[in-house]
Every structure is written in C-alpha cells, then in structure tokens.
Amino acid sequence: MVRVAILGASGYTGGELLRIFTIHKHVEVTYATSREYAGKPVHYVHPHLRGYYRLNFSPINIDEIANKSDVVFLALPHGVSIKYVPELLEMGLKVVDLSAVFRLKNPKDYKLWYGYEHPYPDLLEKAVYGMPELHREELKNAFLIASPGCNATASLLALIPLVKEKLIDLDHIVVDVKAGSSEGGAKPAPGRIHSEKENSIRPYSVEGHRHVAEVEQELSKIAGKKMKVGMSPHAVSSVRGALATAYTWSIDESISEMVVWRAFAKSYAKEPFVRIVRGGLTRYPDTKFVVGSNYADVGFAIDKRVGRIISIAAIDNLMKGASGQAVQSFNIMMGFDEREGLEPPPLRP
C-alpha cells in the first residue's frame, strides 16, 4: 500500500484526489493539509466524502509528511508548491505537482509567462510533463511529475494527431477553449460569484493564456521546430468541463476525412482514456459526456471550402484536466495499471 499525502486537500483538485483515492486499491491517504481548515475533518469541506475518511486536515509539516507518506500530491495555488517540492524530493519522496511550477523546461519561459525567475532550473530538466499520451515511458522512471494544465491538456489532445502526421500548416494554429467555472478554483473572487457568471460566456486572457506555453513546448517537440499557437479561452457558466476547438489549415486542400480519421486512430487507438467521437447523439465531443471521468473525447471536421481542419477535445477540467490525469501519471510512475481508481464511467444526464 502506497501512503499518499495531499497538500492543499481542501480545494477542488485536492477534493478530486481524495474522491479518486476512495476506490484506489493501492493507496492510503495518510495526510491531507489545509491552512484554513486545519483540525477539521475532511467531510467538513467535502461533504460528499462523508464516511469515506477518518482523517482531519492538518497544517503543512514537512517532517510529519515525510514520516507518514511515500508520495506527495501538491494541489496548491501556483507559486506555493515551489516552497516545498525541493525539500520533499531531498527527503526521498516522490512528488506529483498539479501547479505550473515545473511544467516548462526553459527557465526563461517563467519570466515571460509567469513573471519570475525560476529558482530551480535543474528540477525543470528532471521533471516529467505528466501527459501519458506523450510521456508514458518517461513517467515510468519519474520522481517529479509536473501535471499539465486543463486548457493545455484539451488543446494538446485536439492537436497531437494533426501535428504528428504533418497534416496542417504548423505556422497558423488557433485554439478556442471554453472552460467551466471550477477552473477558477474554490475561492470566490470579483466577477466569479454565481450572479455574475451565470448565463455568461466571457472571454479572458484573449491575447494568450499562459497555458499556451505548455502547448507550444509539447507540440514543438513533436514537430521538431519551434511552434507558436494562438489561444483564447472563454469562461462559461457550466461548473465542469473544458472544450478546446482548434482551427488549423490543411497542407492538402483535397484531404479526406479518412486520412484525418487514421491520424487520430494512430495516436489514440491504444489510449485507455481517449475516445474518438464520430456520430451518435452528438456528432462532436461534448463536455457533458465526460463529466466526472478521466476520459477525453476527441473529434474533428473538415471545412473543404476554406481548407480548414477543425479538431475538438472535451474533458472534465478537474479530472483529465487536473486530478484524474495526475493519478493516471502516478499509476504509471508506481507501476500500477494506469486505469486504477479512474474506471468509473462519466455521469449522464
């Protein structure tokens, strides 16, 4: 049994980790931290988990965490986990960080996208970007997993087959992401309360969301050249879900649907959590049919009139976009079946 500590366990992603681990055969959650709710039981913040845990939230105590755990998941706000990760690694613990602190390989990118000089460039090189569809082999030997962002995950899953098979103009890619309100976290903020967000479709970071740095990094590795991608996200009034619609231009105006279909099948036919959507109740991926699960639904359309290939990916931003993908990567790192704890199907309706 692997002993797991969750830092930041009172937030949405921390709560999802706790929920997943209730059915994980190889994990015991032995430590869960919360600064605000220290001393209170887990179900005080996560009432849906009442009866599943006899565990109280604790403050962060590195020595106690080291004594009680083998692997530490950090579900902390961006910029906070960097205070703890180096020390946890020095103590011999394996770490899965759900923040952006170790996702980018080039230290200069942190100055550009996050506004600070990264103090641990050596750890950036050693961290494994936690996307199994791209880095499954590296994850097997990882000790520090940098779990991807939700917008980046959806965007990459929409684009990987097209870039891999060189079907598109790599210099002109635009991604539109629609994201549910849970992407903003559990803390209320101006403009994010229900009365302000309900019935709203609101663009933000229109000139370029910082998750695009991850998309460019990973696609550049696949393409073998430096790539730039335009990304504009929109907040929508749904609670969960991220839908990435990628607009690309084919290098062959006569390209057929079968060619694109084969590209998607080649990339994802053996992936346990990627489903290719063609037909059915809805013709294209829809976040409604992945909510509560670690599945990503992907699909595409061809606009022959203007030579576009539109590719789409739908995920639950808290699962495949955060905690579910983190556990999938953890499973690979630990040598477990990567589906462990993640097999329940999506909810409907």
Lookup: tokens for 205? 């970071």
Q: Is 188 exposed, middle or buried (0-12, 13-18, 19+ CB in 10 A)?
A: exposed
Separation between Cα atoms, residue 148 and residue 97, nearest integer Å: 9
Kindly state the greatest CA–CA separation across the chain: 64
Please pick, among 65, 98, 131, 150, the residue that the annotation labels catalytic.
150
150 is catalytic: yes
Q: What angle do CA 59, 189, 41 make, to 5 degrees?
A: 30
DSSP structure string for 60-113: --HHHHHHH-SEEEE-PPTTTGGGTHHHHHHTT-EEEE-SSTTT-S-HHHHHHH
Sign of the C-alpha dihedral, residues 244, 213, 143, 32?
negative
Separation between Cα atoms, residue 291 and residue 294, nearest integer Å: 8
Start-end of H helices in the chain:
12-21, 42-45, 62-68, 85-90, 107-114, 121-126, 132-139, 150-164, 194-197, 212-223, 257-268, 324-334
Q: Mind telling me the catalytic residues?
A: 150
